[in-house]
Amino acid sequence: MADKRVYLFREGSADMRDLLGGKGANLAEMTNIGLPVPPGFIITTEACRQYYAQKEQLPDGLMDSVRSAMSEIEGDIGRKFGDTENPLLASVRSGSKFSMPGMMDTVLNLGLNEETLKGLIRASGEPRFAWDARRRFVMMFSDIVLGISRSRFEAIFSACKEKRQVSQDTDLSAEDLQEVAGKFLALVRQETGRPFPEDPWEQLQLAVEAVFRSWYNRRAREYRRRESIPDDLGTAVSVQAMVYGNLGTDSGTGVAFTRDPSTGERTLYGEYLVNAQGEDVVAGIRTPLPLSELAATNPEVYKQFREIGERLERHYKNMMDLEFTIERGRLFMLQCRVGQRTGAAAVRIAVEMAGEGLISREDAVTRVSASHLNQLLHPRIDESYLAENGIEPIVEGLPASPGSAVGKAVFDADRASRMGAEGESVILIRDETNPDDVHGMLASQAILTARGGKTSHAAVVARGFGIPCVSGCETMKVDERSRMFDANGKIVREGAWVTVDGTTGRVYLDKIPLISPEVGGEFDTLLGWCDEFRRLGVRANADNPRDAKQALKFGCEGIGLCRTEHMFFEKDRLPIMQSMILAETDHDRELALQKLLAMQQQDFEELFVVMDGLPVTIRLIDPPLHEFLPAHEELLKQVVELRVAVKSLGADAIKEVLQEKERLLELIESMREVNPMLGLRGVRLSILIPGIVAMQTRAILQAAVRVKKRGVEVNPEIMIPLVAHVNELRTVRENLDKVAAEVVEEAEETVTYKFGTMIELPRACLTAQEIAQHAEFFSFGTNDLTQTTFGVSRDDAEGKFLAKYVELGVLPVNPFETLDTEGVGKLVRICVEDARRANPLLKFGICGEHGGDADSIAFFHSVGLDYVSCSPFRVPIARLAAAQAAIAERAETPVAAMQN
Amino acid sequence: MADKRVYLFREGSADMRDLLGGKGANLAEMTNIGLPVPPGFIITTEACRQYYAQKEQLPDGLMDSVRSAMSEIEGDIGRKFGDTENPLLASVRSGSKFSMPGMMDTVLNLGLNEETLKGLIRASGEPRFAWDARRRFVMMFSDIVLGISRSRFEAIFSACKEKRQVSQDTDLSAEDLQEVAGKFLALVRQETGRPFPEDPWEQLQLAVEAVFRSWYNRRAREYRRRESIPDDLGTAVSVQAMVYGNLGTDSGTGVAFTRDPSTGERTLYGEYLVNAQGEDVVAGIRTPLPLSELAATNPEVYKQFREIGERLERHYKNMMDLEFTIERGRLFMLQCRVGQRTGAAAVRIAVEMAGEGLISREDAVTRVSASHLNQLLHPRIDESYLAENGIEPIVEGLPASPGSAVGKAVFDADRASRMGAEGESVILIRDETNPDDVHGMLASQAILTARGGKTSHAAVVARGFGIPCVSGCETMKVDERSRMFDANGKIVREGAWVTVDGTTGRVYLDKIPLISPEVGGEFDTLLGWCDEFRRLGVRANADNPRDAKQALKFGCEGIGLCRTEHMFFEKDRLPIMQSMILAETDHDRELALQKLLAMQQQDFEELFVVMDGLPVTIRLIDPPLHEFLPAHEELLKQVVELRVAVKSLGADAIKEVLQEKERLLELIESMREVNPMLGLRGVRLSILIPGIVAMQTRAILQAAVRVKKRGVEVNPEIMIPLVAHVNELRTVRENLDKVAAEVVEEAEETVTYKFGTMIELPRACLTAQEIAQHAEFFSFGTNDLTQTTFGVSRDDAEGKFLAKYVELGVLPVNPFETLDTEGVGKLVRICVEDARRANPLLKFGICGEHGGDADSIAFFHSVGLDYVSCSPFRVPIARLAAAQAAIAERAETPVAAMQN
């Protein structure tokens, strides 16, 4: 068996995905459970790996195995490959272990040449059909195998349609198609200097090699890098006898899902095209019919198909995506796979299937991905704003991927990618998308296409990544060169703001306000199940009562990070903060601190009331003080201008203003820092200006006392940022405990609080054993920890080189999005182990942005943290990811693998 | 013995320093080898620790032990403590394990009261002497034990001398002194509300407690922190029978060294005062006589003393510092300890003692400290000139680059360059420097800046070129336009003579005489011995042939860091570098790179010739490109001024200048970074602009080829900075190896080079196992590694909070000066272990500034690095420290302990 490189469908099964690819394994499975699948065979991924190991040479004897497999098929179907009477034609498709939509290539109708064409005409009695197959084959083969751009062929085809003054392909006659095919062949000879390969076996070998080669094309490599799929898996090749959906009006081809992939409703959902080949549906060239039409026109076939769908769903215990072809009234299954779905559908299907007893609750939880939930948490358009302002959409298309987004119109993928990397919100607008556009699609807030259905490339990719999409806006004329589109006479140019609603399919000009989502129903059910399974606690990062309420609604179990300085940035407080910083005497500083105290205390009281008894982790002041002062550059400009004015006008009135500004400028310049991220901030401030800690501690504890006296339970946790050395923590704690004791004594009320520190510098991780002895909790600040461990300033890197690094494959992912487990994670692990040994009662949390990232949460679970804390809108995702990590641990299976 | 808290001198020995303190142990030792020591006893450090453990209570029974020890002394000396006929008086002194000069307190003549005073008069027959002792005792006791400031007493004493119109204490009569004593006692009663304690035993107990308490006084704690002496050692108390140097002209007291502590010459060196007590010598109230006077006036005593000195030197095998008293012609030894010495003396004494066979060569090497050598390596200010003339610095800043220099103040680089070329000595004084100033810096004797830390541009360039530099003189206001600076109200104009001491950070007005460094002789001998013992290699950081030659002279074994970008900062190259950065087309960039190539190649050729066969480690470009461009702020000011001018004057001529500057400003603004230290620099640049790597590689290898063809051996090592991820190194290496292969092919000459990386980010240490597989050497860049591990920007921290941190004891030392072994060192250790496992052939070096710091070198030795690299002037120190580390390792004794 070791040398077996070719498997007949009947020799394989669904669990052989590694060897046969997902597509091949499922064809084998369907064959073996007795479904009508055209016969075929699969060349293994192992053969592909050998092909690369031997410097792109097919393994010895491979084509011999292919020939003998082909003869088995010939026997099954009663046609012969290369036969001039009743020729067997084949489809050749790639298929890797993981689904890579649109990434690999397909050749249909392989085996056609001048001679077999005649046989096809004879056998089918349909010259038009045969010539159609011929022109399709020449174009696809030339594009994929010979590398001649498809657009060259399409231009010839369009010219022919124009000449005949028809709009549909089906309106062309056999003669027209024959003429087209002739021109195609001439183009091939002109481009390659050789005639089109006519030998079917040569065609087959070239096609197999082309599929192998496509494994390493740029699109495929980029997709794999993004999805963390290893490069060395290789692809299988499935070779299958063609059946024809384009043999007349009793033929057709379609795709379907066993449940609605948008809503999750339990209903067979799909579309089909009469008298067409599979590629026509996907390409979106003709607009397909809903499956209900098939039920009406051919109830027998429809019934058979529905039963197959139900059977496959029971068999796979999942919602399936099916491809079928009807050849002269006879149904064939061409593909089945687990269906992509929207977030709403994923949740509903998971919960309902668990309800139906088809899957367990654990299965249900693992069936929903973080990006599925993320879609549900997407904002939607404020309809009342539209109504009040009488705003109408400028175009409408198909609601291809739900959610709404606002962004600037951009007409090519490269620019979208670049602008997106720079932090701009963009909407990618294309006539239709293709795999070359994926990088731009991923960088966009939403995608808008003029052509293509709900299963078009744009729609599939967008849904997969949770990006809102409207496709098939047929009234919109996109001019990619002039960077604009024309919507019923209204011109929209690049850079204009556009709002896209992927849930309704409507597109609006300008920025329309969006509303945050509300969730419930199956969403709550599923998250309830998550809470049963997870071990990690989930808290939220919230600085004010509003965010805290939102987070509670999403099920947080406390606040893991309340950034007190955000309170100082508010409009009425900033001047007081500034006077504290600029104070020339201790007395002035104390006065300003007193004012801030009253305000902070009020803030904390409100927060404690909202959180009623849940822990609230309050981080003392963190940013450098110059962040609270006027911007240096602006002030400098003013001073220079005023100096010139004073010099030339000698105006005394201005002189005073100038002097005032000069004083401020001098002060700000004395506080400026070369690398503020590594400067006087965090605990360093607290040590140099102990009055701030004293004020903040007093505010927290006085608030706690007040609220407690009103009967509210309070659990404050005071957290010190940016500790590098244990002595910093010790110094601050002495100051803080003294103030706390004073407050308790004054109030004659006991309040307990926890004392802890953020762990956000490598040195804190490396000396955790010492620091642990002076803290009750650690909370990893993985943003700063990533910055210092990598030596990368996020502010500077994300716009400049991080995107390039990911693009070049220097880094697998942006480490600010998903935790770098090798480097930063190693520090986290060292820290947890050392600290726990020194202080077994210590609690560990994480409050960096990674706290809301599913992959990172799996890591945090594995190192044994106690909780993650993330932004309120990521709380549901954290609950899900934490549950999945716990389930995966029990099953000893990575989370990612469970979702495929 | 466990409970024994009081030791008679004859019960102790020199090796009981832990228990008896250094002073007590040496008194015991001298007693036991039969030297004339007044009898006494020592209360142990253990008693002091118990005192603190019991909340500042003397241990039970301690005073009983003291009483019985006192009775032994009484027997030895034939006087009784508290006796009214012939009273025994005592000195009470502190004495800890480590010498803490001036830190602890002493009380003399303890036991005097109204009654014993009469006895003293009777026994001595000298009322004046007795009253002198009385007034001394009341003052010292009141100051140290009762906390009444000494100055209050001195005022009374001075008033008395004034009244009597005498200048010398000795001119006062017994009656005068009696009057003074009376006023002293009245002052004590007034201040404390109680009479002066008259009971000798109460006096003794209070004095012992005061000595214990003084262990924790501020001066003592600060000294310990600075010298890294643990706080929990405690101090011993020695109580010794008084002998009197103030009993007339046949009495006296003095101090001496067994060799000259300034030059190391083998001669008894000291001074003494006739008719005085010990404190008078130290206090400097009267000018003492040289010991030669004693030889003349009392040859017997002198001869006895000289023999004692020789005996002690042989006994201790070291140069000794002695205190003695002559009481009516009889010699008593009061103290002996290892003598402090200058660098020159340390070297000479060590080498000569080894020559005399007194100590081994290993001992000789450990007897000289890094700071001893450092004194010898730079011109230094003649401190005695400062003292004699009472000269104070006008400003003080950071000691940014060691050595002293004298020159004329100059306020711009062009003028400095011009005057320097004309042979004038100039000091360049700037607010801060930038790359445009380098030509002026190189022409200056020293550099002085108002802003910037020890890694500021000025500091780095100065250290690199061995030019003294004081940076960050925050109290100095530089007015570059008016060509002057204001130092606390003192105006210094261009052309004025200034002396800068980069070793201490002090700046003086006028020309201060300097002492030039002398090396050779014993210096070379000692370093030769070092080379026999050390295991670590010693290389130098040198960017040009001049530095390389200097380093070779100091015994370096290669270049460990050649910073290629320093070459770009030179005046003729900066414009080319700028045009490379600002190039709008690839072609323009390529042209600029070609020009730089020729220059770099020339640089490398010269360097290779100088280093002839020794390894030369060349680091590819490291700093962010904006460092090569004009300063943003200056340009912004110009643009704003020009804009105002264009607006109000409408001058078309200016318009063009403005537009040009605006373009440049825009470009510079697009390149600005929030945290440049963590921005687009190092390997990141090399990946984004591969042309720079290609140019630099070509320059290195073409230079190597040319030089090799001339018969010079070359060993280039190419080093990549700032690697965080193995893929960065891999990417650059591919590019580099390709270029190298091209050069070798073109030249038809093989050149081998090593490829390696700096390890200066935590992530590189944590993933060393992977990185090690793509490198032949690692060189730790501990400056940046310290910055990132601590999350501290050196530029911002040194001026602002690091000093405060050290002062408050939050950090024991500045981690940029001595490696933080707990945090940064832990990363180094992890890195070395993991990397060596992955690649056993890997070589490890260190080229951060810690490579020249003795304590850090001991650590690098212990983790098993192969070499350290430091600035040329630190090479001798590195050789010494490396040898000491190796010797200490063999002896299993820390280096610091061997020097005490």
pLDDT band at A644, cuts 50/70/90?
Answer: confident
Residue of A nearest to B636 (CA): A637
Residues 6 or more apart in contact with residue A48 via CB below 8 angstroms: A212, A215, A234, A235, A236, A237
Please check whether residue A257 is in contact with residue A339, taking contact to mean a CB–CB distance below 8 angstroms: yes
Q: Is the pLDDT of residue B480 over 80?
A: yes
- Stretch 261-300 of chain B: residues touching chain A, C-beta under 8 Å: none
Residue of A nearest to B643 (CA): A641
pTM equals: 0.82
Which of the residue ranges A62-66, A125-129, B222-226, B243-247 would you say has the lowest mean pLDDT?
B222-226
Name beta bridge partners: B844.
B778
Residue of A nearest to B474 (CA): A670
The CA distances from residue B79 to A815, B70, B125, B634, in Å, are 82, 10, 15, 81
For B819-842, what is the mean pLDDT? 97
Are B762 and A827 a contacting pair at CB < 8 A?
yes
pLDDT by residue (tens digit) across A537-595? 999 999 889 889 989 999 999 999 999 887 787 778 888 999 999 888 889 999 999 99
pLDDT by residue (tens digit) across A663-701? 888 888 888 898 999 999 999 999 999 999 999 999 999
Q: Is A774 a catalytic residue?
A: no
Q: Which residues of B touch A824 (CB under 8 A)?
A: 763
So what's the pLDDT on residue A106?
83
Q: Which of A684, A722, A833 to mutate to test the interface with B (most CBs of B within 10 A)?
A: A684
Q: Is the pLDDT of residue B684 over 50?
A: yes
Q: Comparing C-alpha atoms, which of A393, A381, A404, A380 is closest to residue A502?
A: A404
The CA distances from residue B57 to A623, B48, B68, B105, B205, in Å, are 47, 10, 20, 19, 11
Share of chain B above pLDDT 70, in %: 96
pLDDT by residue (tens digit) across A283-313? 666 778 889 899 999 999 999 999 999 999 9
So what's the pLDDT on residue B895?
55
By Cβ distance, the residue of B760, B766, B792 closest to A678 is B792
Q: Which residue has the higher pLDDT, B375 or A617?
A: A617
Q: How far is CA B888 from the centre of its chain?
A: 21
Are A762 and B762 a contacting pair at CB < 8 A?
yes
So what's the pLDDT on residue A98?
84
pLDDT band at A248, cuts 50/70/90?
Answer: confident
pLDDT by residue (tens digit) across B228-266? 788 889 999 999 999 999 888 899 999 899 998 878 999
For A128-135, what is the mean pLDDT? 92
What's phi and psi for A614, nearest 5 deg? -75, 155
- Stretch 563-592 of chain A: residues touching chain B, C-beta under 8 Å: none
- Give the span between the Cα atoms of B784 and A345, in whole angstroms: 51
Are B789 and A822 a contacting pair at CB < 8 A?
no
Residue B282 Cα, gap to closest chain A Cα (Å): 38
Residue of B nearest to A784 (CA): B791
The interface predicted TM-score (ipTM) is 0.82
Q: Is the pLDDT of residue B463 over 80?
A: no
- Give the span between the Cα atoms of B521 and B355, in whole angstroms: 13
Interface check for B635 against chain A (CB to CB < 8 A): the answer is: no
Interface check for A622 against chain B (CB to CB < 8 A): the answer is: no
Q: Which of B810, B820, B834 to mutate to test the interface with A (most CBs of A within 10 A)?
A: B810
pLDDT band at A226, cuts 50/70/90?
Answer: low
Residue B32 Cα, gap to closest chain A Cα (Å): 45
Are B678 and A678 a contacting pair at CB < 8 A?
yes
Interface check for A666 against chain B (CB to CB < 8 A): the answer is: no
Please check whether residue A91 is in contact with residue A111, taking contact to mean a CB–CB distance below 8 angstroms: no
Are A674 and B809 a contacting pair at CB < 8 A?
no
So what's the pLDDT on residue A443?
87
Interface check for A679 against chain B (CB to CB < 8 A): the answer is: yes
CB atoms within 10 A of CB A188: 22
For B288-303, what is the mean pLDDT? 90
CB atoms within 10 A of CB A730: 15
The CA distances from residue A326 to A250, A793, B131, in Å, are 8, 58, 128
pLDDT by residue (tens digit) across A315-366? 999 999 999 999 999 999 999 999 988 888 999 999 999 999 999 999 999 9
Interface check for B809 against chain A (CB to CB < 8 A): the answer is: yes
Q: Which of B477, B789, B804 to mutate to test the interface with A (most CBs of A within 10 A)?
A: B789
CA torsion A306-A310-A312-A314 (nearest 10°) is 180
Are B809 and A727 a contacting pair at CB < 8 A?
yes
Interface check for B677 against chain A (CB to CB < 8 A): the answer is: yes
Q: Which residues of A touch B477 (CB under 8 A)?
A: none
Residues 6 or more apart in contact with residue B562 via CB below 8 angstroms: B541, B542, B543, B607, B616, B617, B618, B619
Interface check for A790 against chain B (CB to CB < 8 A): the answer is: yes
The angle formed by the CA atoms of residues B518, B520 and B524, to the nearest 5 degrees, is 130
Catalytic positions of B, written as ranges: 457, 847
pLDDT band at B30, cuts 50/70/90?
Answer: very high
For A92-112, what is the mean pLDDT? 82
Are B688 and A641 a contacting pair at CB < 8 A?
no
Q: Is the pLDDT of residue B467 over 80?
A: yes
By Cβ distance, the residue of B727, B788, B801 closest to A791 is B788
Query: Between chain A and chain B, how many beta carbons pairs sit less than 8 Å apart?
Result: 186
Average pLDDT of chain A? Answer: 90
pLDDT band at B518, cuts 50/70/90?
Answer: low
For B33-40, what is the mean pLDDT? 96
- Give the span between the Cα atoms of A641 and A651, in whole angstroms: 13
The CA distances from residue A875 to A445, A816, A882, B431, in Å, are 21, 18, 10, 51
By Cβ distance, the residue of A677, A678, A731 closest to B810 is A731
- Supply B895's token pair: 């280096």
So what's the pLDDT on residue A401?
81
Please check whether residue A548 is in contact with residue A610, taking contact to mean a CB–CB distance below 8 angstroms: yes
Share of chain A above pLDDT 90, in %: 65
A327 phi-psi bin (left φ>0, alpha ψ -120 to 50, beta other): beta
Residues 6 or more apart in contact with residue A752 via CB below 8 angstroms: A715
The angle formed by the CA atoms of residues B887, B97 and B812, to the nearest 5 degrees, is 75
Q: At what angle do helices B522-533 and B343-355 cross, to 10 degrees?
A: 70
Please check whether residue B808 is in contact with residue B817, taking contact to mean a CB–CB distance below 8 angstroms: no
The alpha carbon dihedral of B191, B193, B198, B204 has a sign of negative
Are A822 and B766 a contacting pair at CB < 8 A?
yes
So what's the pLDDT on residue B642?
84
Q: Which residues of B touch A827 (CB under 8 A)?
A: 762, 766
Are B731 and A808 a contacting pair at CB < 8 A?
yes
So what's the pLDDT on residue A589?
92
pLDDT by residue (tens digit) across A193-224? 999 999 999 999 999 999 998 898 877 887 78
By Cβ distance, the residue of A673, A791, A810 closest to B722 is A791
Interface check for A675 against chain B (CB to CB < 8 A): the answer is: yes
For B104-131, what is the mean pLDDT? 91
pLDDT by residue (tens digit) across B164-213? 998 877 788 999 999 999 999 999 999 999 999 999 999 999 999 999 98
Interface check for B822 against chain A (CB to CB < 8 A): the answer is: yes
Share of chain A above pLDDT 70, in %: 96
pLDDT band at B488, cuts 50/70/90?
Answer: confident
- Supply B320's token pair: 């000794």
Residue B659 Cα, gap to closest chain A Cα (Å): 17
Interface check for A603 against chain B (CB to CB < 8 A): the answer is: no
So what's the pLDDT on residue B283?
57
By Cβ distance, the residue of A728, A762, A795 closest to B789 is A762
Residue A872 Cα, gap to closest chain B Cα (Å): 28
Residue A724 Cα, gap to closest chain B Cα (Å): 6
Q: Is the pLDDT of residue B700 over 50?
A: yes
So what's the pLDDT on residue B218?
77
| Run of H or E residues at A282 | helix A278-283
CB atoms within 10 A of CB A887: 21
So what's the pLDDT on residue A900?
44
Q: At what angle do helices A150-164 and A127-141 cross, to 10 degrees?
A: 150
Average pLDDT of chain B? Answer: 90
pLDDT band at A837, cuts 50/70/90?
Answer: very high
Residue B796 Cα, gap to closest chain A Cα (Å): 6
So what's the pLDDT on residue A104?
61
Q: Is the pLDDT of residue A60 over 70?
A: yes
Are B808 and A731 a contacting pair at CB < 8 A?
yes
Q: Comparing C-alpha atoms, which of B286, B290, B285 is closest to residue B255?
A: B290
- Stretch 398-417 of chain A: residues touching chain B, C-beta under 8 Å: none
